[in-house]
A and B are shown apart, each in its own frame.
Chain A
């Protein structure tokens, strides 16, 4: 798939995702992640950060994409938007480790190959991350991400409405983004 076709596909998925299509969003995130990983790996190599940090940076960037996706204009191409978010978060992420860097914008997304290799590293310990969340957010995250349950199952299990689960999940993701940042500060 060439560059612009790929971008159009991503834009279509993102557009459907913003309207509530979870499947399209899952596809979008899974399609973008290998590229994020490739950029993150290259940057970590360049600045001597241990490879175990790559997956952390990827997750940090994914959370940023998620929380800021409301700033994307569906009438505009998704590429420049995504590149800006990634670049900004990458700089922020590396700076937290005391590595002031600049990342040229043309470096991001356009020139990169996808890196599908996930070495399975999860340096940020799940239990420790979850400790930072309160109930019912913690239970919801546990149920959906580790248990693989959907919104409805989770709602039934926790005796909540689906709407309440959705709201709590959104808050939990905001909370996770904050936790990632503070975790960095402690380790940096």
Chain B
């Protein structure tokens, strides 16, 4: 085919029906909804949430997971757009990390050393390890699909960013059920769960995010 013929052909398809941002937001909404419904229909929100939400540790847990979900989702959106600077979005990841460190430090000051172990172990670490990855399946699939419509420069890294976002979303949803409120628990089991999803995102991204 001659290049001019191809240009002629492309020009006839000028209009962009859906922008990448829009595809991404729709995928995000679908992923979040499926996971939220999944949590509500299986485990449900913890029974004593009305009182619990007033305690600092629960506020911390819900706030931190939501913060991680937001900054990592922002990064995932940007990795799909060529030429968009990733610097501020990547630096923003330091924010939840800093909040977590402050939380851990506070916990270690407030809780006597003898109780650290119990705080860290919590009641249901295996639930956390199972549900964070499970609740991330729908957001991960939806976000990977949308980033695939974009033009990520590095498929593996883009996949990892997408996985981190999906893991953050799953954590912020699971936090509404999870009865373990210690920042030490959060820093251990949530982080392992989110790490698993990020690794899965990296491996999947290398395969499906090439274009």
Total number of B residues with any Cβ neighbor in A under 8 Å: 33
Which listed residue, A55, A150, A169, touches B13 by the CB 8 Å rule?
A169
A161 touches B (CB below 8 Å): no
Q: How far is the CA of A81 from the CA of B211 in the complex (A)?
A: 15
The reply to whether B150 and A68 form a contact with Cβ atoms under 8 Å apart is yes
B50 touches A (CB below 8 Å): no
A69 touches B (CB below 8 Å): yes
Which listed residue, A63, A68, A141, A150, touches B82 by the CB 8 Å rule?
A68
B83 touches A (CB below 8 Å): yes
The reply to whether A166 and B16 form a contact with Cβ atoms under 8 Å apart is no
Which listed residue, A19, A29, A82, A126, touches B11 by the CB 8 Å rule?
A29
Per-residue contact bits, chain B 171-192, to A (CB 8 Å; 1 contact, 0 not): 0000000000000000000000
Q: How far is the CA of A68 from the CA of B16 in the complex (A)?
A: 10
Q: Which residue of A lies closest to B24 (CB)?
A: A71
A: contact size bracket: 35 or more
- Known contacts: A68-B150, A70-B149. The answer to whether A17 contacts B5 by CB under 8 A is no
Distance in angstroms from B4 CB to nearest chain A CB is 7
**Secondary structure call for the A interface:** helix
The reply to whether A126 and B6 form a contact with Cβ atoms under 8 Å apart is no
The reply to whether B3 and A151 form a contact with Cβ atoms under 8 Å apart is no
A85 touches B (CB below 8 Å): yes
The reply to whether A169 and B7 form a contact with Cβ atoms under 8 Å apart is no
Which listed residue, A25, A70, A84, A126, touches B10 by the CB 8 Å rule?
A25
A-B contact count (CB 8 A): 120
Q: How far is the CA of A67 from the CA of B153 in the complex (A)?
A: 15
Distance in angstroms from A131 CB to nearest chain B CB is 13
Which listed residue, B1, B80, B81, touches A126 by the CB 8 Å rule?
B1
Which listed residue, B1, B14, B15, B84, touches A73 by the CB 8 Å rule?
B84
The reply to whether B151 and A20 form a contact with Cβ atoms under 8 Å apart is no
Residues of A with C-beta under 8 A to B21? 73
Which listed residue, B5, B16, B153, touches A145 by the CB 8 Å rule?
B5
A88 touches B (CB below 8 Å): yes
Q: How far is the CA of A120 from the CA of B20 in the complex (A)?
A: 34
Q: How far is the CA of A80 from the CA of B153 in the complex (A)?
A: 13
The reply to whether A173 and B16 form a contact with Cβ atoms under 8 Å apart is no
The reply to whether B2 and A120 form a contact with Cβ atoms under 8 Å apart is yes
Q: How far is the CA of A144 from the CA of B4 in the complex (A)?
A: 12
Q: How far is the CA of A148 from the CA of B2 in the complex (A)?
A: 13
Chain B stretch 75-98: residues in CB contact (< 8 A) with chain A: 80-84
Residues of A with C-beta under 8 A to B13? 66, 166, 169-170, 173
Q: List 24 A-B contacts (CB under 8 A).
A: A17-B15, A18-B14, A20-B15, A22-B14, A23-B11, A25-B10, A26-B7, A29-B11, A66-B13, A71-B19, A71-B20, A76-B83, A79-B83, A81-B81, A118-B2, A118-B3, A118-B4, A144-B8, A145-B5, A145-B6, A151-B12, A166-B13, A170-B13, A173-B9
Name B's A-contacting residues (CB within 8 A). Answer: 1-21, 23, 80-84, 149-151, 153, 210-211
